[in-house]
A and B are shown apart, each in its own frame.
Chain A
C-alpha cells in the first residue's frame, strides 16, 4: 500500500505525530482533505517548498482547525463537490483541548460532516514540552516541572471524549499508537459515519516523555494495559465497546518508570503516595469502563 504520508519529514525518529498521520491516511485513502493546526505535525511535515502530504492539506493557525474544517466541508457542499470526500482535522492535544476548544465545539454543535482526530502526546511538543489540558497528573513538563515543592502537573487529564459526546456526536472513539489496527479501524469507521465524529489517539512522544525512540509502541501499550488510557467507542453518547485488559493488567509503575517525565516520583520523598494516587486513577478507569 502506497503511503500517503511520505518519509523525509523533519520529525524525531519514532515520532508519534507522524505515525498517527500515516495511520489516518491508511484509513482515509486518497479521497480526503486534511486540516492541521500549528504544532509538531505541521512544522515537521511542510517545510516549504517540501511536503510530506500526498493528499490535499491545509494549515491555517493553532486554534482554528475545527472552523477551517467546517469551512472546507461547507465549500465542498455548496459547490457540489462533497461526494465521498472525507474532511479530516488532524490536530495536537493543545490545539484541541485548550486553545482550539471554541472552534471544535462550534464545528461539532453545527453538525458538519467532518472527522476530528486528536493526536494526544500530552503536552505542547512543538514549543518544547509545556503542559496542556491533556497532560496527565504528576507529569513533569517545562511549565509543570517537578521541584522541591512540586510533583509535576497538579491536575488529571481533561476528559475530552466526554466533552465531545456531550455535543451529540454520533461516533467517538479512543485509540492508541500501541494498537495500529485498532486506530485504522476506528478512524475509517469515523470517516464513514455522517456528521462530526471524534477520535482521540493516545500518542507517546519519545522526545517529550523521555523514552528510547524504539519504545513508542511499548509505552503506548502499557498506558492501555495499566488502565490509564482506556480504549472505547461511543455511539450517540453511549459507550458501545471497550477493549478489555484482562490478564494483561499491569501496575501503573510499569508504565511510569519507562518515562523521564515521571522519574521524580520514584526518587522524591512522598513519591510513593503519588504513585498510589495514579494507581487509583487507573483503577477508576477500569471500573468505570468495565475493563477487567
Chain B
C-alpha cells in the first residue's frame, strides 16, 4: 500500500490549506458551524464566514460564539437537534474545550472538528507541534493526522462518513500541522460537490431533540449503569477501525485518491529500519527514505494516519520484521519523557510475539524546523541500535544543549 493519487491537473487549483479545508467543509453540507478564531486556525473560519456571507452554504447557520468552550457547547445542542456540525480550533482553544470534548463523545454526537495543530502555552508559542490534540486523546474523539493539503481536505469528508456511521457515532478530529499545512499554498483538487454528495449521504440521526417525539439527552448515570456507557464508547471506537479503512477505500473508488486508512507504508517491505510518524513530518521522511534508499540503506516509513482508535494490529503487522523502529513524536508526556506514538506502540507490542527494538525521538516542538539532516542522523543512530542495542530509549532529537 502506498499513496495513490490520480491527480487530474485540469482539476487542480492552487489553494491555501485552510481554504481547501473550508471548501471541503462547505461541500459536506454542514447545518451548523460554530467556531472561535485562534492562530493558525483562523483562515479556516474566515473562509467559512465568507462562504456564509456569499450565501454559498445552504441550510446552514454560523454561530459566532464568544469562546471555544461555547463553540463546542453550541454544537452539543445543534447535534442533539439533528444537525451536521463543524468546528475548528487549535492549542489553547482546544484545551479550553477539554470538558466539552468528553461530553460530545459521551453523548455520541458525530461532530467533526479540524485541529490546526499548535504548541501549548507556557511559554506561549503559536507554531506547530501536536501536543494540543495528543493531550486530548482520552476524550473519546477519533483522531486522524494528515500529511498534506489534499489529504486534510479529503479527510474532512471521510471523517463525517466514519463519525456518522450508525455503528460508530463518535466525534472526529482531523488534524493538520499548523502553518506547515494551514498556511501553505499547494496545487490541490478542491472537493467536487457532486462527488461528495455521492460519497457522503445526508446525516439522518436515529435520535434528536424533537417536540413530536420527546426524549431526554444527557441524563444522569449512577454507578449501576455508568460503566456500560463507557464500554459502549470503547466498542464504538473498535467499530471505527474497519470503518476508517472502508471510508478510505470508498473514497478511492469515487475520487481516485488514497492515503491509507489507519496507516500507510512506504518502502517498509524489506526495511531494517522503520521510522513512524504522524502529520506533515511524514512528507519529510519520505524524501529522506528516497535519498537513503538510493545509497542502499534499508529504511522505510510507517505513517500513522489514525491515532484514535489506535491501530495496534496494523502497526504490528508492518513493523514485526524490522530490526529497529523509531517513533517520532511532536509531543511529550512530561514526567515520562516519551511521546505518545512511542509509548503506545511500545505498549501494544508487549504480550505479543513481536520483539523489535523500538525507540522514541521527540522532535519539532513549538515549530522547530525539522531539516532532513535531523532525520538522517536519527537513521544513523538507528543503525547503531541494530548492531549494539538500545542506548537511550527516548529523548529529544533536536535539543540545543547550549541553551540549557
Contacts and interface: CB of A to CB of B under 8 A. Distances in A.
B32 A75 contact: yes
Given A31-B211, A71-B63, A79-B31, A61 B100 contact: yes
B216 A60 contact: no
A81 B31 CA distance: 12
Given A55-B214, A60-B100, A75-B81, A106 B219 contact: no
A67 B214 contact: no
Contacts of B82: 75, 79, 81
B70 A74 contact: no
Contacts of B184: none
Interface in A17-73: 30-33, 35, 42-43, 46-49, 51, 53-61, 63-64, 66-73
A31 B212 CA distance: 8
Nearest to A84: B211
Q: A42, A47, A56, A66 — which one has the most chain B CB atoms within 10 A of its CB?
A: A56
A102 interface: yes
16 contacts: A48-B220, A56-B215, A63-B69, A66-B70, A67-B69, A67-B77, A70-B65, A70-B77, A71-B74, A72-B77, A75-B78, A78-B61, A78-B78, A79-B31, A81-B81, A103-B66
Nearest to A103: B70
Given A58-B209, A60-B100, A67-B74, A105 B66 contact: yes
Interface string A83-113: 0010000000000000000110110011000
Given A72-B81, A109-B66, A32 B211 contact: yes
Q: B69, B76, B216 — which one has the most chain A CB atoms within 10 A of its CB?
A: B216
A165 to B, nearest CB: 19
Contacts of B217: 56-59
A64 B76 CA distance: 10
B22 interface: no
Interface residues of A, number: 46
A57 B83 contact: no
B211 A106 contact: no
B6 interface: no
Given A56-B214, A81-B81, 4 more contacts: A33-B209, A68-B77, A102-B66, A110-B65
Contacts of A80: 59
A76 B34 CA distance: 15
Contacts of A284: none
Contacts of A43: 220
A78 B211 contact: no
B38 interface: no
B73 interface: yes
Nearest to B63: A74
A181 interface: no
B39 to A, nearest CB: 21
A156 B239 CA distance: 54
Contact of B60 (A55, A59, A61, A78): A78
